[in-house]
Amino acid sequence: MNLSAGYTFTCPFKTNSGNKALEHLPVELSSLNAFKPLIITSLNLTGRRAIRTLINAFGDSGMTMGVFDEITCNADLNVIEQIKDIFVKGQYDSIIALGGGVVVDAAKIVNLAVSQKTADARQLSGETDICGPLGPLVMVPTAAVTGMETSKYAVLNKKTFVSISLMPNLVILDPRLTRAKDSKTTAEAGIAAFGRSLEAYIAPDKNPFMDAYAFAALRFIRENLVLAENKSCNKKASLAVANAAVMSGCVISNTGQSVLHRLGQVFQNIIQVHPGVIIGMCLRPFLDDYVKKDSHLVSALFHPLAGDDKYAATPEAKRTDEVLKDLYIFLDEIYGVLKGKMPRTINEAGIPRYLMDDIFEVINKEPDGAYLRTIIERVS
């Protein structure tokens, strides 16, 4: 790490994680000067039980809250305009996003629209100026997250909004909500967080804060993902995976647009496939290339992945080989538990040729499009 070059790192949100953490929500909201929140969620994507758990957490607080649970996978700016009207008419003062992916993206854009008093939210675009801090936004992730919830990005209907102001003020991780119904959901979230953190950890321009966040996320995933997949009732493991996803969102907001992250986003934007699926596919070819470029940076991965004792006992010259071996075993374990539920190649994913052409068209526009294309071709 070259500290003389200087660096910046921003993590504007407070994280509250643990048993019954949700019950702290009324107090945390009042510390944000918020007393009437609007909960934005999706009945289909998040589930009735999660919504009920969140509402019960407000018990005895005397608060009144609105619940908008009609977010769908295809939410667009018309829905944002609809929620904005509800927010203004109901005189709400804060937003709670319950769930992951599109739910949180929609909540971020609603927060932007109501905070900046946008006359018509349908006119919002990626070019919209986002200035100053926005209103209080609380994020309550469930198991079905993409890892981008805590990031500075919000993507809705192929429109991408980018600003540090979009990041939430508070993140609450409660083990009652982070347990997944199926192992695939956990694996997707875990691999997405793992890939993004891994890329940040081996980035030549990383800073000490990124290093710390990425280190913790990688170790959490390495120690808990397979366990969380195997036993969805394991609260501790699923909470660790959710923590890693939150950290990876913060890490990605402080790094340049990285290879694995961008590939995951392109596929998500065009064919709505979870970025974890694509990041999982591309991890191996990406690392193979990276070893050729800078094996020293890859060898540093041995510490978060193998643990302190194994790291100390392995000579530096052997760490690169060992880390690759360890990582590939780990990936095999993840996919082994899923028993074919998650594709390992583009062909297995069954993505039609015409959609691949659309994807390549977007990828080719990137400055390093040729390289990104070779990665996709190697996993086809």
Q: Which residues bind other proteins (CB under 8 A)?
A: 16, 18-21, 23-24, 26-27, 30, 55-68, 70, 86, 90
Judged by beta carbon, residue 81 or residue 199, the one nearer other proteins is 81
Judged by beta carbon, residue 40 or residue 282, the one nearer other proteins is 40
Please tell me the distance from the alpha carbon of residue 130 to that of residue 301, in angstroms, as a whole number: 36
Residue 16 CB, nearest approach to other proteins (Å): 7
Please tell me the distance from the alpha carbon of residue 258 to that of residue 245, in angstroms, as a whole number: 16
Judged by beta carbon, residue 67 or residue 270, the one nearer other proteins is 67
**Do residues 67 and 174 lie in contact, with contact meaning Cβ atoms separated by under 8 Å?**
no
- Alpha-carbon torsion 68, 182, 167, 264, what sign? negative
Residue 85 CB, nearest approach to other proteins (Å): 10
Judged by beta carbon, residue 24 or residue 344, the one nearer other proteins is 24
Residue 65 CB, nearest approach to other proteins (Å): 6
Can you tell me which residue has the tokens 């195997």? 230
Specify which residues 16 forms β-bridges with. 172
Helices 275-293 and 259-271 pack at an angle, to 10 degrees, of 150
Task: Name residues whose C-beta falls within 8 Å of residue 166's C-beta, 6 or more positions apart in sequence.
Answer: 108, 111, 112, 130, 134, 152, 153, 154
Judged by beta carbon, residue 70 or residue 358, the one nearer other proteins is 70
Judged by beta carbon, residue 54 or residue 237, the one nearer other proteins is 54
Cα Rg for the chain, rounded, in angstroms? 20
SS (H, E, C) 171-194: EEECHHHHCCCCHHHHHHHHHHHH
Residue 56 CB, nearest approach to other proteins (Å): 7
Residue 112 CB, nearest approach to other proteins (Å): 20
- Enclosing H/E stretch for 14: strand 14-17
Residue 96 CB, nearest approach to other proteins (Å): 12
Residue 182 CB, nearest approach to other proteins (Å): 29
How many residues does this entry show for the chain? 380
Judged by beta carbon, residue 136 or residue 276, the one nearer other proteins is 136
Find, among 108, 126, 113, 83, the residue nearest to 168 by Cα: 108
Residue 100 CB, nearest approach to other proteins (Å): 21
- What letter does residue 160 receive in the DSSP assignment? E
Task: Name residues whose C-beta falls within 8 Å of residue 348's C-beta, 6 or more positions apart in sequence.
Answer: none
Judged by beta carbon, residue 52 or residue 181, the one nearer other proteins is 52
- Work out the angle at residue 76's Cα, subtended by the Cα atoms of residues 162 and 359, and round it to the nearest 5 degrees: 70
**Separation of first and last alpha carbons in the chain:** 36
Please tell me the distance from the alpha carbon of residue 236 to that of residue 224, in angstroms, as a whole number: 8
Residue 107 CB, nearest approach to other proteins (Å): 15
Judged by beta carbon, residue 24 or residue 159, the one nearer other proteins is 24
